[in-house]
A and B are shown apart, each in its own frame.
Chain A
Amino acid sequence: MQELINRAKELLADGTVARVLGWKAGDLPYNPEPAYFETAEAMEDFVYNGFCGANLSKYMIEASRLEGKTLVCLKPCDTYSFNQLIKEHRVDREKAYIVGVGCKGKLDIEKVKKQGIKGIESIGGAEIADEAETLTIQTIYGEKTCAYADVMLERCHVCKGKDHMVYDEIIGESKETKDAERFDEVARIEAMSPQEKFAFFQKELSKCIRCNACRNACPACSCRKCVFDSNKFDSSQKANVDTFEEKMFHIIRAFHVAGRCTDCGECSRVCPQGIPLHLFNRKFIKDIDELYGEYQAGEDTDSKAPLTNYTFEDAEPSIVGKRG
Chain B
Amino acid sequence: MYKIAKENLSALFQLIADSQELYLPVKTAGQTNFAAWSKDAEVDLDTLKTVKSAKDAFFPQSEGLYTVKKEGKKMSVEPEALKEQDFVVFGMRACDVRGLAVLDNVFLADPIDTFYAARRDHGTVVALACHEPEETCFCKVFGVDAAEPLSDVAAWMVGEELYWKPLTEKGEALTASVKELLSDADEAAVDAEKDAIHHIVEKLPYMNLSLEGWDGDALSEKFDSPIWEELYKPCLACGTCTFVCPTCQCYDIKDYTAGNSISRYRCWDSCMYSDFTMMAHGNNRTSQMQRFRQRFMHKLVYYPANNDGMYSCVGCGRCVEKCPSALNIVKVVKAFQNQGGEK
Residues of chain A having any CB pair with chain B under 8 Å: 26-28, 31-36, 54, 59, 118-121, 140-141, 203-204, 206-207, 209-213, 215-217, 225, 229-231, 234-236, 238-241, 269-270, 272-275
State whether B324 touches A270 (Cβ < 8 A).
Answer: yes
Given the complex, which residues of A lie within 8 Å of B114, measured CB to CB? none
Given the complex, which residues of A lie within 8 Å of B322, measured CB to CB? 272
Closest-by-CB residue of B relative to A240 is: B61
Given the complex, which residues of A lie within 8 Å of B135, measured CB to CB? 28, 118-121, 140
Given the complex, which residues of A lie within 8 Å of B265, measured CB to CB? 236, 239
A241 and B60 CA atoms in complex are apart in Å by 11
A72 and B218 CA atoms in complex are apart in Å by 37
State whether A34 touches B33 (Cβ < 8 A).
Answer: no
A216 and B135 CA atoms in complex are apart in Å by 27
Residue B267 interfacial (CB < 8 Å): yes
A238 and B322 CA atoms in complex are apart in Å by 20
Given the complex, which residues of A lie within 8 Å of B134, measured CB to CB? 118-120
Given the complex, which residues of B lie within 8 Å of A119, measured CB to CB? 132-135, 200, 203-204
State whether A229 touches B61 (Cβ < 8 A).
Answer: no
Given the complex, which residues of B lie within 8 Å of A236, measured CB to CB? 62, 254, 256, 265, 267
State whether B269 touches A238 (Cβ < 8 A).
Answer: yes
Task: Provide the B236-260 mask, 1 if CB < 8 A to any CB of A, else 0.
Answer: 1111101110000000101111000
A141 and B204 CA atoms in complex are apart in Å by 11
Task: Provide the B217-243 mask, 1 if CB < 8 A to any CB of A, else 0.
Answer: 000000000000000011011111011
Task: Provide the B15-41 mask, 1 if CB < 8 A to any CB of A, else 0.
Answer: 000000000000011110100000000
State whether B267 touches A212 (Cβ < 8 A).
Answer: no
State whether A118 touches B278 (Cβ < 8 A).
Answer: no
Given the complex, which residues of A lie within 8 Å of B239, measured CB to CB? 209-213
CB within 8 Å for A54 and B325 given contacts A140-B204, A209-B61, A239-B267: yes
State whether B278 touches A272 (Cβ < 8 A).
Answer: no
Residues of B128-153 whose CB lies within 8 A of A: 132-136
Shortest Cβ-Cβ A-B pairs, 7 listed: A270-B324, A239-B62, A213-B238, A31-B326, A234-B257, A216-B236, A239-B267
A18 and B278 CA atoms in complex are apart in Å by 36
State whether B205 touches A28 (Cβ < 8 A).
Answer: yes
A230 and B133 CA atoms in complex are apart in Å by 41
Task: Identify 5 residue pairs between A and B in the complex whose beta-carbon atoms are under 8 Å apart, listed by A's number.
Answer: A141-B132, A209-B51, A225-B274, A238-B267, A275-B29
A54 and B205 CA atoms in complex are apart in Å by 24
CB within 8 Å for A26 and B326 given contacts A211-B243, A229-B274: yes
A50 to chain B, nearest CB (A): 14
Residues of chain B having any CB pair with chain A under 8 Å: 28-31, 33, 48, 51-52, 61-62, 132-136, 200, 203-205, 233-234, 236-240, 242-244, 252, 254-257, 262, 265, 267, 269-270, 273-275, 278, 320, 322, 324-327, 330-331, 334
Tell me which of B29, B134, B204, B324 has the highest count of chain A C-beta atoms within 10 A of its own C-beta: B324
B327: contacting residue among A28, A33, A36, CB under 8 A: A33
B242 to chain A, nearest CB (A): 8
State whether B29 touches A234 (Cβ < 8 A).
Answer: no
State whether A54 touches B324 (Cβ < 8 A).
Answer: yes
A217: contacting residue among B204, B236, B254, B320, CB under 8 A: B236
CB within 8 Å for A203 and B205 given contacts A216-B237, A229-B274, A234-B255: no
B254: contacting residue among A26, A238, A240, CB under 8 A: A238
Given the complex, which residues of A lie within 8 Å of B236, measured CB to CB? 213, 216-217, 270
Given the complex, which residues of A lie within 8 Å of B273, measured CB to CB? 212, 229
A273 and B239 CA atoms in complex are apart in Å by 13
CB within 8 Å for A216 and B238 given contacts A35-B233, A209-B52, A239-B62: yes
State whether B205 touches A27 (Cβ < 8 A).
Answer: yes
A81 to chain B, nearest CB (A): 14
State whether A274 touches B31 (Cβ < 8 A).
Answer: yes
State whether A140 touches B200 (Cβ < 8 A).
Answer: yes
A231 and B233 CA atoms in complex are apart in Å by 26
A10 to chain B, nearest CB (A): 24
CB within 8 Å for A209 and B243 given contacts A27-B205, A32-B326, A240-B62: yes
B336 to chain A, nearest CB (A): 14
CB within 8 Å for A33 and B238 given contacts A28-B205, A207-B33, A229-B274: no
B321 to chain A, nearest CB (A): 8
Given the complex, which residues of A lie within 8 Å of B48, measured CB to CB? 118
A269: contacting residue among B243, B257, B324, CB under 8 A: B324
Closest-by-CB residue of B relative to A266 is: B324
Given the complex, which residues of B lie within 8 Å of A28, measured CB to CB? 135-136, 205, 320
State whether B326 touches A211 (Cβ < 8 A).
Answer: no
A51 and B242 CA atoms in complex are apart in Å by 23
A45 to chain B, nearest CB (A): 11
State whether A210 touches B243 (Cβ < 8 A).
Answer: yes
Closest-by-CB residue of A relative to B200 is: A140
Given the complex, which residues of B lie within 8 Å of A118, measured CB to CB? 48, 132, 134-135
